[in-house]
Amino acid sequence: MGKKILVIYTGGTIGMVKDEISGTLKPFNFEDIYAHVPTLKFLKHQIDFYTFPVLIDSSNVDLKFWIELAECIEKFYEKYDGFVVLHGSDTMSYTASALSFMLENLNKPVVLTGSQLPLGVIRTDGRRNIINAIEVAASYINETAVVPEVSICFENKIYRGNRTFKNNASHFEAFLSPNYPILAEIGIEIKYNKDAILKRTQKKLSVIKTLDNNVVVLKLFPGIHPNMIRSVVETSGLKAIVMETYGSGNAPTDELFIKELEHAIEKNILIINVTQCKKGSVQMEKYETGKKLQEIGVIGGFDITTESAVAKLMYLFGKETDVLRVTALFKTPLRGEMTIDM
């Protein structure tokens, strides 16, 4: 007998079929999964299914959902060897990032997947994605998981979840990870990039269920008014700003703009500098426009994605109250979410 895998259906396109009467898409009963994906019968693993009581479109993902999902994995953690999470693709990178931080000392595969076309459609990419995700979740060598981390399986590739972003809404290859190599490529065989995969820990799983969403994303654009910065800074309870800057971490040097950022830092609001570029890293010391941010106390986010930065801040502020402590932890790679020696 192979491994025991739990497939968790949370909602999203992958679990939809067309109603024969109305013609609209509706969630299907996963007891009928073998009718839609008959190949699953040939996998030599025990595959069980758990469906969330309330299915959601991934656009409605929130902290409550993340906690519920983490608790579900915690509940069944000792019973199963791996987990496959069926999830809408729109916010999958956010959820993968959040889980990577919430599931401390993870030693088993948690593979998120979904599809661009519903499972009930002839040309769906969902069948292949589910099968690939299950195979990766069940991949062990000498009782050690090959991919003991939170990953995303899409279009024959396995990515580190907290390194991804959704890049395409109309092609099957929906995700990219430009700043970190793929963990595996699935062809005739599954070729694992073992040097890129996180190493297994000997510690016991600890699930963090306290998150703090007093975080905001601020995207810079030419002509942004300082008053807009002020309105964000004055948000009640705000603890951190993920500021999407230009290029390698550059921003306007306008005196009023800098003054508003200084005002935020004086209020103990942490400002993280991430680049709007999809590939590359923040290097504030490179240009004068970045140095100014560094001088006033803005924290460089290296090559972290916006999705991962948001999730990491929610996780850190859920655990820590001291901004200096959060700052130190943010600048430290915790789950392989960023590269600092660039």
Kindly report the CATH number assigned to the domain that includes residue 135. 3.40.50.1170
pLDDT value for 33: 74
pLDDT value for 120: 67
The two tokens of residue 43 are 């996998």
pLDDT tens, position by position, 63-103: 999 999 999 999 999 999 999 999 999 999 999 999 999 99
Please say which residue of 158, 189, 207 terminates a domain: 207
The residue behind tokens 């009023």 is 256
Query: pLDDT category, 57, cuts 50, 70, 90?
Result: confident
pLDDT value for 304: 98
Angle CA(186)–CA(191)–CA(192) in degrees, nearest 5?
A: 115
pLDDT value for 32: 67
User: Can you give the length of the chain in residues?
Assistant: 342
Is residue 337 a part of any domain in this protein? no
Same domain, 196 and 263: no
DSSP per residue over 107-124, as a string? -S-EEEE--SS-TTSTT-
Query: pLDDT category, 31, cuts 50, 70, 90?
Result: low
CA distances to 76, 136, 150 from 7, rounded to whole Å, are 11, 12, 14
Looking at the chain, the whole-number percentage of residues with pLDDT higher than 70 is 96
Please say which residue of 163, 187, 207 terminates a domain: 207
The two tokens of residue 313 are 């801040």
pLDDT tens, position by position, 283-331: 988 888 788 999 999 999 999 999 999 999 999 999 999 999 999 999 9
Chain mean position to CA 46: 27
Same domain, 107 and 248: no
pLDDT value for 212: 98
Same domain, 76 and 203: yes
Cβ-contact 136, 184 below 8 angstroms: yes
Q: Is 13 annotated as catalytic?
A: yes
Kindly report the CATH number assigned to the domain that includes residue 295. 3.40.50.40
Same domain, 188 and 254: no
Query: pLDDT category, 336, cuts 50, 70, 90?
Result: very high
SS3 state at 229 = helix
The two tokens of residue 261 are 């950022």
Query: What mean pLDDT is predicted for residues 207-214?
Result: 98
Residue with more model confidence, 28 or 245: 245
- For 287, the domain range is 215-330
Is residue 203 a part of any domain in this protein? yes
pLDDT value for 126: 76
Residue partners of 269: CB distance under 8 A and separation at least 6: 233, 238, 239, 240, 241
Residue with more model confidence, 183 or 116: 183
pLDDT tens, position by position, 139-180: 999 999 999 999 999 999 999 999 999 987 877 778 999 999
Same domain, 115 and 172: yes
Same domain, 187 and 222: no
Query: pLDDT category, 22, cuts 50, 70, 90?
Result: confident
pLDDT value for 29: 67
Number of domains in the chain: 2
Please say which residue of 207, 233, 250 terminates a domain: 207
Is residue 200 a part of any domain in this protein? yes
Same domain, 112 and 181: yes
Same domain, 263 and 196: no
Is residue 340 a part of any domain in this protein? no
Same domain, 36 and 172: yes
Query: pLDDT category, 34, cuts 50, 70, 90?
Result: confident
pLDDT tens, position by position, 251-267: 999 999 999 999 999 99
Is residue 336 a part of any domain in this protein? no
Examine the pLDDT at 209 and tell me if it is beyond 70.
Answer: yes
Cβ-contact 253, 290 below 8 angstroms: no
The residue behind tokens 């915790």 is 334
Cβ-contact 270, 247 below 8 angstroms: no
Residue among 13, 95, 113, 245 flagged as catalytic: 13
pLDDT value for 308: 98
Rounded to a whole number of angstroms, the CA Rg of the chain reads 21
Same domain, 134 and 164: yes
pLDDT value for 168: 79
Is residue 197 a part of any domain in this protein? yes
Query: What mean pLDDT is predicted for residues 211-236?
Result: 96
Same domain, 197 and 219: no
Is residue 144 a part of any domain in this protein? yes
Cβ-contact 84, 134 below 8 angstroms: yes
DSSP per residue over 151-170, as a string? EEEETTEEEEGGG-EE--SS
Same domain, 136 and 227: no
Is residue 142 a part of any domain in this protein? yes
Q: Element (H or E) spanning 228, and its range?
A: helix 226-233
SS3 state at 47 = strand
Query: What mean pLDDT is predicted for residues 47-73?
Result: 94
